Amino acid sequence: MAASMLRRIVHDANKLPIQVTFSKAKQLLLARSVTELSDRPNPLNKDDYPSVEISTEDFKYVERLLPNPLIPDPPNHEVYPTPSGWQPPQESALDHPYFINRTSSHHLPLYLNTRAAGRQRLTTVRKIDGDIWKFEEDLRHYLETLTEEPIITQVHEVARFVRVKGYHLDDVAKFLMEKGF
Amino acid sequence: MATSGPVTEKALKLLRNLPRVTIANLKDLPGNQRKYDKRRGLKKGRSHGRGTKGQGQRMTLPRLGFEGGNTPFYLKVPQEPYYRGHHLRREYPPLSLLQLQRMIDLGRIDADEPIDLTTLCNTNLYHIELHKRHFGVNLTDEGADVFAAKVNIEVQWTDEVTIAAIERNGGTITTRYFDPLSLAAVVNPLRFFSRGIPIPKCKLPPEDALEFYMDPKNRGYLADQEHISEGRLELAQKYGYKLTDIQEDPMFDMLTKRKNPSQVFFGLNPGWIVNLKDKCVIKPVDEQYKTYYAS
């Protein structure tokens, strides 16, 4: 009788795209357990599952764990530069025929490239607006006062950057911050 | 899914009443099955796809890796004992005190709240890659002389100078271990909550790491609190700074906020499930679940 019930269900199922095949042994096994089939939990009935407690107050702890998708504005400090050496752009930056914009994370657009297995180092200043050649001239004169080594630079007018051969990150950073950028 | 049609109803009825679907009771559609090719007959006979004469047809090919007589690749590269067990070592990518100070200065991290690995990863300036055997953050002492923030920070690895630099400013530091599943939750909580699985209880560290986290000198989370207080005094004397009384600090509650050894997130206990869509937390009520997750 149990097996015939199963065959009826399978007959109904045969009209659907999935084909389910049973061996005779499995049929016998299922025949024994067919009375327990109705005891299976119905996902549409909440009483079949263990009870839980829903809390909306504790969600505030979850909100603290979620990341902020936007970069926040830097807070106002009493003294500059800050302990880590950061300084916001000053108004004296507008006095020059060129302007160096800050990056989206509020840092100077100053980068170091290391190429040729460490033998070649290039210091790049990006995001230059205005008279780029004047900027290169001022930067070169400043660096020449600090070292006897020749200062070799590259000006890229279209991509708006100036490159200096060698490691000059600290010196260029000081130059830019003195100018107020 | 407003109303389900007759086909869906039949399918759901099947799912409820038939036994579990396994590979053993499924079959492909007739048209999708491909017959096993025995290579018999006019076209597929003669050499049966094995070519003409030679080792290929006569099944006398040499062993896999053989290169005709020269030393094969798998023997050419020598063993290097230095790298033995390399694939099992834990890595702690460094974060310097200078970088931490810069993040605080620019408002990327709020120093008025406890800082842990989740806070650092959420800044998107520091990353932990689980597939590279990263087990947490190593707070290094670069910038120890300029570090000026009073923080409550929880890291996975650090050294004496870093601990001194943080405690000098009136802050606290703890080192704690996260097992891989807990670490996945800590590093990217949003992705973890989207999975809809209960918050795991953090397991104890492995044997070779247990000593580190039980040592009060490393401010380990399994160490005795009394020994840690003694250690604070010792470091102050060693590095020559005055240790302020933490109990008189207005931020005392924030600075002494600690997680339980098996707790992964502040304020959320293991066993709870976070529902991001409905903005609620699902807690088990069953006693068995509660005792398991509380143990």
DSSP B129-197: -GGGTB-S-EEE-TTTTT-----EEEESEE-HHHHHHHHHTT-EEEE----HHHHHHHH-HHHHHHHT-
Give yes or no for residue A18 having a pLDDT over 50.
no
Mean pLDDT of chain B: 94
In tens, the pLDDT along B130-172 reads 999 999 999 999 999 999 999 999 999 999 999 999 999 999 9
What secondary structure does DSSP assign to A81-146, as a single string? S-TTS--PPPGGGGGSSEEE---TTS---EEEEEETTTTEEEEEE--EEE-HHHHHHHHHHHHHHH
Mean pLDDT of chain A: 87
Per DSSP, the three-state class of B94 is strand
| Inter-chain CB proximity A54 and B280 less than 8 Å | yes
pLDDT band at B33 (very low <50, low <70, confident <90, very high): confident
Q: Which of A19, A64, A84 sits opposite B98 (nearest CB)?
A: A84
Residue B25 DSSP class: G
Give yes or no for residue B264 having a pLDDT over 70.
yes
Residue A163 DSSP class: E
Q: How close, in Å, is residue B45 to chain A by CA atoms?
A: 35
**Sheet containing B157-158: which strands, arranged edge to edge?**
B94-96, B138-140, B157-158
| Residue A16 at interface with chain B, using a CB cutoff of 8 Å | yes
Structure tokens at A127: 């995001």
Specify the length of chain A in residues. Answer: 181
Q: What is the pLDDT of residue B133?
A: 96
Cα–Cα distance, B66 to B281 (Å, whole number): 60
Structure tokens at B253: 């509650």
Instruction: Identify whether B93 is preceded by a cis peptide bond (ω within 30 of 0).
Output: no
Chain B window 200-259: which residues touch A at a Cβ cutoff of 8 Å? none
| Residue A66 at interface with chain B, using a CB cutoff of 8 Å | yes
Residue B75 burial (CB < 10 Å; 0-12/13-18/19+)? exposed
Interface probe for B, chosen from A62, A70, A79, A104 (most Cβ of B below 10 Å), is A62
Q: Which of A9, A73, A84 sits opposite B101 (nearest CB)?
A: A84
Q: What is the pLDDT of residue B16?
A: 85
Instruction: Compute the C-alpha angle B285/B291/B293, nearest 5°.
Output: 85
Q: What is the pLDDT of residue B34?
A: 85
Q: What is the pLDDT of residue B90?
A: 97
The average pLDDT across B274-292 equals 94
Helix (H) or strand (E) holding B280: strand B280-284
Chain B residues close to A64, C-beta within 8 Å: 113, 266-267
Q: What is the pTM of this model?
A: 0.78
Taking CB atoms and an 8 Å cut-off, how many pairs form between chains A and B?
A: 127
Q: How close, in Å, is residue A60 to chain B by CA atoms?
A: 9
Interface probe for A, chosen from B280, B282, B287, B292 (most Cβ of A below 10 Å), is B280
pLDDT band at A77 (very low <50, low <70, confident <90, very high): very high
| Residue B19 at interface with chain A, using a CB cutoff of 8 Å | yes
Cα–Cα distance, B87 to B85 (Å, whole number): 5
Per DSSP, the three-state class of B27 is strand
The average pLDDT across B206-229 equals 96
Question: Which candidate, B127, B170, B176, places its Cα nearest to that of B152?
Answer: B170
Q: Which of B18, B98, B283 sits opposite A20 (nearest CB)?
A: B18
Structure tokens at A121: 């180092």
Domain limits, chain B: 88-267
Structure tokens at B149: 């923030």
Structure tokens at B289: 């679940």
Say what angle helices A2-13 and B6-17 make with each other, to 10 degrees: 140
Structure tokens at A14: 């045969």
Place of tokens 């607006």: A129
Task: Write the CA distances from A84 to A90, B96, B143, integer angstroms.
Answer: 18, 11, 8
Specify the range with the lowest mean pLDDT, choosing from B39-53, B64-78, B105-119.
Answer: B39-53
Structure tokens at B176: 């704690």
| Residue A85 at interface with chain B, using a CB cutoff of 8 Å | yes
Cα–Cα distance, A119 to A110 (Å, whole number): 20
- Beta-bridged to residue B115, according to DSSP, are B153
Q: Which of B19, B106, B265 sits opposite A86 (nearest CB)?
A: B106
Give yes or no for residue A38 having a pLDDT over 80.
no
Structure tokens at B97: 């005190």
In tens, the pLDDT along A119-164 reads 999 999 999 999 999 999 999 999 999 999 999 999 999 999 999 9
Give yes or no for residue B295 having a pLDDT over 90.
no
Q: What is the pLDDT of residue A21?
A: 52
| Inter-chain CB proximity B14 and A68 less than 8 Å | no
| Residue B284 at interface with chain A, using a CB cutoff of 8 Å | yes
Cα–Cα distance, A176 to A128 (Å, whole number): 11
Q: Which residues contact A162 (CB under 8 A, 6 or more apart)?
A: A124, A125, A128, A132, A135, A136, A139, A153, A154, A155, A156
Q: What is the pLDDT of residue A19?
A: 45
pLDDT band at A36 (very low <50, low <70, confident <90, very high): low
Chain B residues close to A26, C-beta within 8 Å: 19, 25
Q: How close, in Å, is residue A103 to chain B by CA atoms?
A: 13
Chain A residues close to B266, C-beta within 8 Å: 61, 64
Residue type present at position B156: Q
Question: For residues B273 and B212, is the Cβ–Cβ distance under 8 A?
Answer: no
Q: Which of A21, A73, A82 sits opposite B27 (nearest CB)?
A: A21
